[in-house]
Amino acid sequence: MTRLRISVADKGLVSIDALKKIEGVLGIVDASDQIQIIIGPGKVNQVYDALMPLLAKMPKFDKNSANTAKSATNSVDALSIKEKLKQKNATPFKLFLKKLANIFIPMIPAFIGCGLILGIVNIIIKSTSPEMFGGVTFDKTTLGAIFKMIGSGITFGLALFVGLNASKEFGGTPILGGVLAAVLNMPELNNITVFGEHAIPGRGGVIAVLLVAILAAYLERYLRKIIPSSLDLFVTPTLVLLISGFAAIFVLQPIGGFLSDAITNGCKLAVEHGGILTGFILSAAFLPLVMTGLHQGLIPIHAELIQTTGVTVLLPILAMAGAGQVGAALAVWFKTDNEKLKHIIKSSIVVGFLGVGEPLIYGVTLPLFKPFLAACIGGGIGGAFVAAFKLGATGIGISGIPLALLIQNGIMLYLVGILLAYAGGFIATLLIGFDDSIIE
């Protein structure tokens, strides 16, 4: 969303300082296998589109030659570089989280669009009376019903989208994953008895779909190795659907249902009974989670909560972490005389208000460190307030002030929580202090 990620063979040839000086670059993350250039949402897509044709025209890289354009030996293919770096730096857990993210991230534009449409319907209902629409609420009118149908599109088709993407991500044929996801949601499941109980269409939600799509992908890859190529087109998809389908109905859907119930009930109990303490801990710990990339594992949890309960109670709490970041950055801007630092904050603060916190994390608070701790404290304060009122969001993909449109009940309470997080991050930064000379 915000970074241009480039895998490189020799970091010794990369000038981090020169990259930082480029106008529009908000920060650099020197990751183990990548150089990540933080540019910001929207603009990063334009830079990517401009860069790819240039890369396509370049000669293959040869770090042993001074003239790579003329060198025909020891050339290194870009894809092999990326794969070697992946193998060197990635753990199975990291790779699994990355695959999970790749399944759900393509759906985020739909979550945003659908969520905002439902938010508009919600606002119209709350700000109007039924008398204005012939005695019914807005969502019961023809126009309102259409709005609501479009807004519910991502939730209605979520299982199919997850099945397609999961199968593709784990090396299978996407449509087979989609078909198996459809099977788990068919009304006819009510006619089937599993261990003495009727199967429930849609039970296990995205968790059950993930399990069966992953199984089908691995099964398909194995069958293609042992089935003769002349029979592959007919035999492989048939066996994949039959074996995975039976496994899904009798094993994986019950397991998925158990895991889904555990996740849903666990989140509800944590928020309902943990109250402000749980809210503070979750929000205060979220920024470090973003740094490690572990926050990607929360995406399917948000999706599961939305599909099973209609809202995710975690997102409004976690969104407070970004607000604490904004408050800390504003305090730095208020107190510092460092013009470079002020320029970075000025370039990043608007997207910070909109819920994109990475430019502020890597460009301001994390390099200064103490403001990063203050941002966690500010986020915790906002998270505690939001958790106390058990607010839920009908969609994912956005944060900050725009997320207010997705709050099912208590939009004003959510905005008060953001203000508290701003204030908490701001005051904590002033109290803790910072050394801005490190920016130079």
Paired tokens of 43: 């603009």
Res 323 pLDDT > 90: yes
Long-range contacts of 90-97 (CB under 8 A, 24+ apart): 90/33, 94/293, 97/293, 97/294, 97/296, 97/297
Span 409-437, pLDDT tens digits: 889 999 999 999 999 999 999 999 998 88
Residues near 417 by Cβ (< 8 Å), separated by ≥ 6?
316, 320, 323, 382, 383, 385, 386, 391
Higher local confidence (pLDDT), 56 or 142: 142
Structure tokens that stand for 68 in this block = 């790579």
Contact 359, 2 (CB under 8 A): yes
More confident residue, 70 or 351: 351
Instruction: Say how far apart CA 203 and CA 403 lie, in whole Å.
Output: 28
Nearest of 340, 365, 339, 351 to residue 426 by alpha carbon: 365
Q: For residue 310, name the pLDDT band (cuts at 50, 70, 90).
A: confident
**What is the per-residue pLDDT across 159-187, written as a single tens digit (0 to 9) for each?**
999 999 999 999 999 999 999 999 999 99
pLDDT beyond 70 at 96: yes
Q: What is the mean predicted confidence (pLDDT) over 196-220?
A: 91
Give pLDDT, residue 70.
Answer: 41
Q: How far apart are CA 324 and CA 26, in angstroms?
A: 19
Quick: pLDDT tens for 1-58.
778 988 888 888 899 889 988 988 877 888 767 888 988 777 888 999 999 998 888 7
53-62, 127-136, 282-291, 321-330: the lowest-pLDDT one: 53-62
Alpha helices in 227-252 (DSSP H): 229-247
Predicted pLDDT at 85: 54
pLDDT averaged over every residue in the chain: 86
Q: Would you say residue 97 has pLDDT above 80?
A: no
pLDDT, average across residues 224-252:
94
CATH topology of domain 3-64+77-89: Gyrase A; domain 2 (3.30.1360)
- Tell me the C-alpha distance between 317 and 270, whole Å: 12
The residue that leads in pLDDT, 46 or 76, is 46
CB 208 within 8 A of CB 260: yes
> Residue range 273-288: average pLDDT?
91
Q: Is the confidence at residue 75, as pLDDT, over 50?
A: no
Q: And the tokens for 32?
A: 């183990």
Give the confidence band of 329 by pLDDT, cuts at 50, 70, 90: very high
DSSP letter for 198, please: E
pLDDT tens across 98-124, in order?
788 788 888 888 888 888 888 888 888
Q: Output 72 or 282, whichever has higher pLDDT.
A: 282
Going from N- to C-terminal start, the domains of the chain cover: 3-64+77-89, 107-271, 311-439
Residue type at position 222:
Y
> 133: pLDDT confidence band, cut at 50, 70 and 90?
confident
